[in-house]
């Protein structure tokens, strides 16, 4: 099979690319990425010389480029991770979220129609369901929960999901969608809660907790997310949506205190700041469908996974320091100056 992973230089996509390259040497894996501020080829160093791997720089919303690429490469499977992903950025500048997350997705779907792709998988998010109240721990998102997005980011992701299902029903494009909860692990861009707090605590800087810190997220290790996607692509039923989550709910304050404790830093570093506009209160996934239908189960326990992740950021300070200084963007120019 020839598999195109879009957004493969980002946090989750790079884990997916490495998993596919290593576990399926008979498959050809093409990583397609625009290399926005969030894309970093350093994340893919481990596979950059693998014989079944190739990198292509490009924009999923560039129709001419995408159609040319599909014509040339004859992909069997597309796994679409490419997106603008940070909620706070979407509050400041929604336009790029509409362009990449909606127009990019429909461009890929049009190319799938034209070139008869065997499977299109959309990597979506639990944020499309909106949020749950903090005083109803009995409530969870399942695949029948209505879409009820809160932020420009989640509205764009929800819109993309609607197009994916419309292309399935109207044109018969063979699609699947996964909706996962918050991921954590190595190589996450240091604007998201966990790496941001680790990098700031390491530098003895204030940790900005939005509102009261009582908002709840349902954390899943990035490797468990990618294993679930691999299962869905190979064994999932066409036209189906699968929720992914591991029942690891924590308040933001609990996560921040775990980080401070692991780093031996004082809780006085916590600074409560103005809340995120429209801040979702609680996410919580019911993963019964993927567990019973596909036999998926998470392998990481949050308490072990978060400690290992914190240790990774301590051991790989150079990686996030290069990002914070902007230096990492030179890596592409240096590595690929003779290749693209």
User: Which residue from 126, 161, 224, 230 is in contact with ligand DAU, where contact means CB under 6 A?
Assistant: 126
Nearer to ligand NAD, 36 or 254 (CB): 36
- Residue ranges in 215-234 that form contacts with ligand DAU under rule CB under 6 A: 215, 217
Return phi, psi of residue 179, to 5°.
-125, 105
Catalytic residue check, 230: no
Nearer to ligand NAD, 84 or 224 (CB): 84
- Of 198, 158, 162, 171, give the one whose Cα is nearest residue 280: 158
- Of 231, 115, 112, give the one whose Cα is nearest residue 164: 112
- Is 210 among the residues that bind ligand DAU (CB under 6 A)? yes
Strands 28-33 and 53-57: parallel
**How far is 198 from 261, CA to CA, in rounded Å?**
11
- Is 179 among the residues that bind ligand DAU (CB under 6 A)? no
Q: Is 3 helix (H, G, I), strand (E, B) or coil?
A: strand
Nearer to ligand NAD, 194 or 209 (CB): 194
Burial 72-107 (b: 16+ CB within 10 A, else e): ebebebbbbbbbbbbbebbbeebeebbebbbbbbbb
> What is the nearest approach in angstroms of ligand NAD to the Cβ of residue 104?
5
Nearer to ligand DAU, 9 or 209 (CB): 209
- Is 17 among the residues that bind ligand NAD (CB under 6 A)? no
Catalytic residue check, 127: yes
Structure tokens at 260: 């401070």
- Is 323 among the residues that bind ligand DAU (CB under 6 A)? no
- Is 127 among the residues that bind ligand DAU (CB under 6 A)? yes
**How far is 181 from 286, CA to CA, in rounded Å?**
10
User: Are 57 and 31 contacting, i.e. CB atoms less than 8 angstroms apart?
Assistant: no
Active-site entry in 53, 120, 153, 283: 153
Q: Which residues of the shown chain bind ligand NAD in the complex (CB under 6 A)?
A: 6-7, 9-13, 33-36, 38-39, 59-61, 81-85, 100, 104, 123, 125, 157, 180, 182-183, 189
Cite the active site residues: 126-127, 153
Q: Which residues of the shown chain bind ligand DAU in the complex (CB under 6 A)?
A: 85-87, 125-127, 181-182, 192-193, 196, 208-210, 215, 217, 252, 276, 283
């Amino acid at each position: 099979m020839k598999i195109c992973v879009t957004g493969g230089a980002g946090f989750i996509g790079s884990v997916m690319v490495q998993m596919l390259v290593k576990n399926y040497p008979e498959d050809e894996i093409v990583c397609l990425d625009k290399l926005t501020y969030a894309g970093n080829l350093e994340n893919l160093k481990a596979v950059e010389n693998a014989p079944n791997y190739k990198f292509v720089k490009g924009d999923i919303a560039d129709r001419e480029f995408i159609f040319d690429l599909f014509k040339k490469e004859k992909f069997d499977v597309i796994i679409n991770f490419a997106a603008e992903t940070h909620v706070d950025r979407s509050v400041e500048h929604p336009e790029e979220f509409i362009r990449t997350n909606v127009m990019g997705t429909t461009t890929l779907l049009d190319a799938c129609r034209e070139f008869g792709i065997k499977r299109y998988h959309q990597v979506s998010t639990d944020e499309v369901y909106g949020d749950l109240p903090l005083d109803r721990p009995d409530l969870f998102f399942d695949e029948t929960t209505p879409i009820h997005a809160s932020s420009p980011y989640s509205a764009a992701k929800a819109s993309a999901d609607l197009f994916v299902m419309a292309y399935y029903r109207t044109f018969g494009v063979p699609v699947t969608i996964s909706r996962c909860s918050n991921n954590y692990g190595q190589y996450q861009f240091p604007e998201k809660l966990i790496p941001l707090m680790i990098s700031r605590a390491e530098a003895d800087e204030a940790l900005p907790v939005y509102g009261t810190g009582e908002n709840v997220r349902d954390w899943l290790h990035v490797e468990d997310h990618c294993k679930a996607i691999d299962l869905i692509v190979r064994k999932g039923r066409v036209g189906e949506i699968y929720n992914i989550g591991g029942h690891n709910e924590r308040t933001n304050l609990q996560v921040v205190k775990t980080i401070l404790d692991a780093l031996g830093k004082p809780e006085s570093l916590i600074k409560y700041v103005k809340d995120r506009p429209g801040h979702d209160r609680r996410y919580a996934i019911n993963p019964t469908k993927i567990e019973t239908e596909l036999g998926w189960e998470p392998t990481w326990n949050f308490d072990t996974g978060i400690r290992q992740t914190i240790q990774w950021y301590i051991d790989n300070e150079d990686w996030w320091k290069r990002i914070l200084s902007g230096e990492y963007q030179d890596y592409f120019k240096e590595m690929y100056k003779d290749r693209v």
